[in-house]
Structure 1
Amino acid sequence: MTGSTSPAGTPSASPAPPAEADRLSGRLGTGSIVFMVIAAAAPLTVIGGNVPLAVGVGNGVGAPVGFIVAAVVLLIFSVGFVTMTPHVREAGAFFSYVTTGLGSRAGLGTAFTALVAYTAVQVGVYGYLGWAVNDLVVYFGGPEAPWWIYSFLALVVVAVLGYRHIELSARVLGVALVLEIAVVVIMDVVIFAQGGQHGLVTETFAPKNVFTPGISVAILFALTGFIGFEATAVFRDEARDPERTIPRATYLAVVIIGVFYALSCWALITGVGADNAVAVAQQTLAGKGNFLLDTAEQYLGPILRDVMQVLLISSLFACVLSFHNVIARYQFTLANKGVLPARLGHRSAKHHAPSFSSVVQTVTAAVVLLVLVLLQLDPLVGVFGSMAGVATVGMVLLMLTTSIAVLAFFARRPKLSGRHVVTTRVAPVLAVIGLAASIYLVLSNFTLVTGGSVLVSVILAIVPPIAFVIGFIAGGRFRLTADGDEDGVDGISTPSAADPIADQLPG
């Protein structure tokens, strides 16, 4: 698609940006955005949950390399993503990039996929959070209660914070994140300083331990741990200096998350010893121990072990709060495009936040969670496992489509791409190859993520592609315009009066 023209034959104008009253604003710096993105990744949760899976089911002591591979793939993806950032002047993340590069159909397909993926992972973490809080209460001698009570209580708190200005959420996430990272870093340092169980496990990087059939499983669970890192672009309008802040935050988020995961995984393996790592991880998966907490108690003592268990709760809470903010802003952007009801695109005059969109997101999450509760699913395998599976497929599909969009965008602008071949062509091509391989790994081992049967896993796996198709069809209600800024950025506008379908759009 190359653009549309008005009935008079002149190019249709790009839409005016949302009215100032309906634009978000803020003074978020690089650090605040990085905090929220890393919080969405829930690092302590990944260390406690994904690492045992990568070690016990994946390539054993070579599992840390899986996190490095995943980080490298996402870092390569980020090169094209960041290079295109100055040419995408709205806070829509993947949706805006794909719309600019591939057109409104692919753009809305991406937006619908993102909404499904982020909602899924948020609901899944609510299940995990409810289970973890109940486990903590029982551990300290309190009464056992249905996990969903704690899930819905957390949902209410998230609703209150999400309704208000983003800087309040940033402060809450920042405190939680610093604490959870600090306690894991302390554990890592103590383990490496003491030499672990039998010395530093250098076998981790031996090719015979890395390149085993299980490397695909390790990379799969590593990718799951990065879900939400691209949300840096969602906060564009609330960033202090988006042209610098967003690229910096994106690179920092990927590097910090990747290094943290890889080092912590290596530390846990060193802590129990190379010969014991797989057995300890498998015992954790069988519910007969806890790789992270038991190792923490061995090297830090029972008090810090208890502190870490409490911080696991804050990690999960930070995760759902961060995804709540991301989803609310996706809805806000789509509403200002006329895709969703206009009310979702209004900014609160009091809180300067997409407050109504936040309320709608809360209701959506509550309804989905209630359905899963009524189905009497297990909070970990049934709720968290299945929803994380949907989100992982969605995330890789989103990044793959975005990388293709980056290639298409710069292919139409040889003057831009000719000066920066590595960032505009080479990196996006490598990203497409890496992400295509990643989605194969995810789908070929999908039952390990969902914990369900092949049939259930297939049904869950096709949810994101179905969302993309629905959005792709809905995208036909819009047309691209050929005009944009001086760099030739395509905008998206509602069709001319000659298109009767446009009249049916809300807002």
Structure 2
Amino acid sequence: MKPQSPEQGAAGTELSSNALGVGGIVFLVLAAVAPLTGIIVVATLGIALGNGGGMPGAFIIATLILLLFAVGYAQMAKKLVSVGGFYAIVVKGLGRPLGLVAGNIALLGYNCFVAGAIGTSGFFTATIVNELTGLDLPWFAWSVISVVLVFLLTRKGIDFSAKVLGVCLVLEVSILLVLGFNILFTHGFSFQALMPQAIFSGSLGLALLFAANCFVGFEATGLFSEEARDPHRTIPKATYIAILFIGAFAAFTTWAIVSALGVAEAQGAAIEHLPTGDLVFMLSNQYLGDTLTKVMMVLLLVSLFAALLALHNSAARYIYSYGRVGILPKVLSQTRNSNGSPQNASAAQLLFGTVVAGIYYLAGLDPITALTASMTGFGTLGILTLQLLAAVAVVVYFRRSKDARLWKTLVAPSLGALGLALIVLLAILNFSTLAGSDNPVIGALPWLLVVAVLTGLATAQWLKSRRPEVYHELLSDMEHYDKVHHELAAVDSNS
């Protein structure tokens, strides 16, 4: 009996293969990073609370750390193709118990991040639409509208999402480049911002933390490997491009901002505008005028929606991955026959995020200081921790296999892991600042990482003794992509 293709025989359990090229994956991960939102919100926080006019240097340092990590990750991507992303890397490198720890952290981190993104998108949409048109709707109504649009787009397939996100990304990046080059040609850039005395002024640690926050989302490249064309080459390329683009774009844009403000005066100006969060809009109004500033406000909404769509795609694939191996109900691994979209995982993820946001809304809590602070704050910490675990797993895997390429598989990834360990430590020690809230309940959220570790280890032990077939599947699922494609190749050769 011939093996059947996913379209024929997998009855809606396979993702769409060969759907994404390098560009599509880059659009998916850069949209999750939300460059416009990152500059308007996160980078200005780094200027105000970090090292002030030296913030461009913090982005350069963060870029170097992540590039070092990417050196080892690229080698791992050539050996492992899995929708499990960094969770799969940890299974491969550190074993199944720690792999489940990583998987739990990924599920917590991404799902919390999406819940926060639902609130952030709803709040800013309500605020900006009201300011521009006078239409006054509750923020949760806009959140629900965003969720419905995300669900409809994801049902069209990952390639369609990539095209939509590509358009959104070009628009939001373009307006900031227009602002940056206008400042450059009008005012010029100050090289003082790149001098050691500026970079190491104030709190470089907090500056690095906020800079790393602007990269959250790049790690999702591996999540789309089973849907990529030639993933062994596509995923490493997409990862390098994503890191380099984020780093160069963020450094250039913040360099423009601090040059316009004055390097020495940048921190004071950012602190002054911290309560209103309008530092970038103020500069835009000064250099681009009122009309383009309003365009930037609209594009902020585009950026927030694109981030929600992209982060949802990532979160849904972790749920799908857990469903496929049997940790979560198998029904969550069902996909649409027409395009391989993980529709059940997608629906479950959006339901979770909407319910969480709805609870905050019904409780009368503020969407920014409560919902975004708690959910996005912990989501960021969780994803940074996931990156660290993957970095360690890469080093351990190649040492165990006695790989002779010391720079690519030991030195560079080890340096990257040390840099990520520093950033995770800074995130834990400064969690209230990262989350933007001094609420003691929000400040206690990092303890959820301990819960994820304990439940991951306990789940591994329970599966090993009570459901050994699922425990075994954690490893065999790593070869799922190769097995399916070998079957399809056999079908093609016999037809």
Same fold (TM over 0.5): yes
Query: CA–CA distance in 2 between the matches of 1:411 and 1:184?
Result: 43
Greater mean alpha carbon deviation, residues 452-461 or residues 351-360: 452-461
1:242 aligns with 2:237: no
Map 1:107-506 → 2, pairs under 5 A: 107-195=99-187, 199-287=188-276, 290-414=278-402, 417-418=403-404, 420-453=405-438, 455-476=440-461, 477-478=463-464, 491=476
Cα separation, 2, equivalents of 1:54 and 1:355: 38
Equivalent pair of 1:386/1:449 in contact (CA under 8 Å): no
- Residue number in structure 2 paired with 1:8: none
Residue 136 of structure 1 aligns to which amino acid in structure 2? I
User: Are residues 448 and 350 of structure 1, via their aligned partners in 2, closer, same or farther at CA, if it must alter by over 3 Å?
Assistant: same
CA drift of 1:48 comes to: 0.3
Tell me if structure 2 keeps the 8 A contact 1:109–1:470. Answer: yes
Distance 1:143 1:321 in 2: 24
Partner of 2:14: 23
Three-state SS of the structure 2 residue aligned to 1:348 is coil
Letter matched to residue 113 of structure 1: I
CA distance in 1, matches of 2:56, 2:368: 24
**Residue 213 of structure 1: how far off its partner (Å):** 4.4
Q: What is the aligned partner in structure 1 of residue 88 from structure 2? A: 96
Deviations 1:324-380 (A, max 9, x none): 111111111111111111111112113321111111111111111112223322222
Q: Report the CA distance between 1:490 and its aligned residue.
A: 5.9
- In the alignment, the residues of structure 2 paired with residue 341 and residue 56 of structure 1 have an alpha-carbon distance, to the nearest angstrom, of 46
C-alpha spacing 1:480/1:433, structure 2 compared with 1 (3 Å): farther
Matched AA of 1:348:
R
Count of residues in Structure 1 that have an aligned counterpart in Structure 2: 466
Q: 1:277 to 1:213 in 2, by over 3 A?
A: closer
Give a deviation string over 1:256-310, Cα, whole Å, max 9, x none.
Answer: 01111111111111122234422321122122x6111111121112111111110
CA-based RMSD:
2.3
For the residues of structure 2 that align with 1:228 and 1:353, how far apart are their CA atoms?
20
For residues 191 and 458 of structure 1, what CA distance do their matches in structure 2 show? 38
Cα distance, 1:208 vs structure 2: 1.9
Kindly provide the amino acid, as one letter, of the partner of residue 153 in structure 2.
L
2:487 match:
none
Shift of 1:160: 1.3
1:38 maps onto 2:30 in alignment: yes
Which range moves more in the overlay, 337-346 or 466-475? 466-475
Higher helix share: 2
Query: Offset of 1:241 from its aligned partner?
Result: 1.3
What is the rounded CA distance, in whole Å, between the counterparts of 2:469 and 2:77 in structure 1? 19
The alpha carbon displacement at 1:70 in A equals 1.5
CA distance in 2, matches of 1:81, 1:20: 30
More displaced stretch, 251-260 vs 143-152: 143-152
1:321 CA drift (Å): 0.4
Give the TM-score normalised by the residue count of structure 2: 0.89
SS at match of 1:87: coil
Q: Is the 8 A contact 1:134 1:145 kept in 2?
A: yes
Counterpart residue type for residue 327 of structure 1: A
The equivalent residue for 1:78 is 70
Tell me, yes or no, if the aligned pair for 2:79 and 2:232 is still in contact at 8 Å. Answer: no
Counterpart of 1:505 in structure 2 is none
CA distance in 2, matches of 1:491, 1:103: 12
SS of corresponding position for 1:376: coil
TM-score, length basis structure 1: 0.87
Q: Give deviations 1:44-101, integer Å, cap 9, x for gaps.
A: 0011001221111111101111111212111111111111112213221111100011
Structure 2 alignment gaps of length 5 or more:
1-5, 479-495
Tell me what 1:49 maps to. Answer: 41
Measure, in 2, the Cα distance between the counterparts of 1:102 and 1:183. Answer: 43
